[in-house]
């Protein structure tokens, strides 16, 4: 609306703002540079750009929103690094400083993912704490997450191709399934013994002497030895990972949210955040293999990313 005041009938999403920012670049490239001005003068007055990220020296070149009492501090920002442009949006910040810091962190993660992909790595972007649209509904295609990060191959603002990095997901690897005890026994059992040549000769009319000299008997095969097949891990040592995050609080909040949504699957599990370098991995631990696999399948049906983790 023209006055910028909130209206209860007006709803938007981070993805909406990312699309709008991209449209400005695409449809009005001659004006986009204005968003990157640090300061300017007009009609005898000096003005300063309130986009605090422009001075960060990380390729930021424009786009901005502001504050409303209904949605908090919001920001759409765009930056270019290594010939690739990303658009990142944050809604609902508690302050301009925390909003800027969070967006800058997301932008850094986005560029890191793109650089690693360009180097040939297969990167799976973990689901964020914020729900996908239609959480709990199996729908195709998967909706983008609340934080949209749009990228393109060139630095120009006239291209029409847009890729939403944060919305990109890959199919998680299938969980490793250890054969059941009955399958192990079947796999370990020796194949049926073929009749020895001597016995065959006797049945077909061979001499009694030949038939009376059977091949030396081998000891009967005992029960299948555990080492012959992958052994089942002790109960309670498997885990389900539901995300990896840069912020520990976000990792714990997401664990609590998944636990609330899937109470029956994780009723006996423990919630743990595993630190790995700069990442915090959200995991449900203390599960059996069957429970972990079943829980991950239930999450996948509801379009929640997960991974079964085998014991170390």
Domain spans of the chain, in order of start: 14-164, 238-309
Residues 87-97: tens digit of each pLDDT: 999 988 888 88
CA distance linking residue 175 with residue 68, whole number of Å: 45
Average pLDDT of the segment spanning 148-172: 38
In this predicted structure, the answer to whether residue 147 has a pLDDT above a threshold of 80 is no
In this predicted structure, the answer to whether residue 245 has a pLDDT above a threshold of 90 is no
- Domain 14-164 -> CATH class: alpha beta
Is there a common fold for 14-164 and 238-309? no
- Please, what sign has the CA dihedral across residues 153, 158, 159, 165? positive
Give the DSSP H/E element, type plus range, for residue 199: helix 197-203
Give residue 217's pLDDT band: very low, low, confident or very high (50, 70, 90): low
In 159-260, DSSP assigns E strands to 163-164, 238-245
Q: Is 264 exposed, middle or buried (0-12, 13-18, 19+ CB in 10 A)?
A: exposed
Q: Which residue has the higher pLDDT, 231 or 113?
A: 113
In this predicted structure, the answer to whether residue 110 has a pLDDT above a threshold of 50 is yes
Residues 260-274: tens digit of each pLDDT: 999 999 999 999 999
What are the helix (H) ranges across 71-178? 96-118
In this predicted structure, the answer to whether residue 129 has a pLDDT above a threshold of 50 is no
Q: Which CATH architecture has domain 238-309?
A: 2-Layer Sandwich (3.30)
In this predicted structure, the answer to whether residue 194 has a pLDDT above a threshold of 60 is no
CA distance linking residue 61 with residue 35, whole number of Å: 7
Q: Is the peptide bond before 249 cis (omega within 30 degrees of 0)?
A: no
Average pLDDT of the segment spanning 133-156: 34
Average pLDDT of the segment spanning 229-251: 75
Going across the sheet that includes 279-287, the strands are 270-276, 279-287, 238-245, 307-309
In this predicted structure, the answer to whether residue 132 has a pLDDT above a threshold of 50 is no
- What's the confidence (pLDDT) of residue 278? 82
- What's the confidence (pLDDT) of residue 286? 94
Residues 274-300: tens digit of each pLDDT: 998 888 999 999 999 999 999 999 998
The answer to whether residues 265 and 249 touch, using CB atoms and an 8 Å cutoff, is: no
């Amino acid at each position: 609306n023209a006055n910028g005041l909130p209206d209860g009938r007006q709803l938007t999403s981070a993805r909406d703002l990312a699309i709008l920012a991209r449209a400005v670049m695409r449809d009005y490239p001659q004006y986009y540079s204005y968003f990157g001005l640090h300061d300017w003068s007009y009609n005898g007055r000096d003005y300063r750009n309130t986009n605090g990220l422009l001075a960060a020296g990380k390729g930021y070149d424009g786009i901005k929103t502001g504050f409303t009492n209904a949605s908090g501090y919001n920001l759409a920002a765009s930056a270019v690094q290594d010939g690739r442009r990303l658009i990142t949006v944050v809604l609902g910040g508690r302050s301009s400083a925390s909003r800027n810091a969070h967006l800058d962190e997301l932008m850094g993660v986005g560029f890191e993912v793109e650089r690693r992909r360009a180097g040939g790595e297969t990167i799976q972007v973990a689901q964020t704490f914020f729900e996908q649209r239609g959480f709990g509904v199996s729908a195709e295609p998967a909706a983008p997450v609340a934080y949209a990060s749009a990228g393109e191959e060139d630095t120009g603002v006239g291209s029409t191709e847009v890729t939403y990095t944060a919305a990109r997901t890959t199919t998680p690897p299938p969980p490793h399934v250890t054969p059941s005890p009955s399958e192990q026994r079947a796999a370990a059992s020796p194949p049926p013994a073929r009749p020895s040549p001597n016995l065959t000769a006797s049945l077909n009319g061979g001499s009694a002497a030949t038939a009376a000299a059977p091949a030396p008997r081998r000891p009967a095969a005992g029960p299948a030895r555990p080492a012959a097949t992958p052994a089942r891990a002790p109960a309670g040592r498997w885990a389900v990972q539901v995300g990896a995050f840069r912020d520990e609080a976000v990792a714990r909040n997401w664990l609590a949210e998944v636990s609330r949504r899937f109470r029956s699957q994780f009723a006996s599990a423990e919630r743990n955040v595993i630190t790995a370098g700069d990442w915090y991995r959200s995991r449900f631990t203390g599960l059996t293999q069957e429970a972990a696999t079943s829980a991950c399948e239930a999450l996948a049906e509801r379009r929640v990313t997960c991974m079964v983790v085998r014991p170390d």
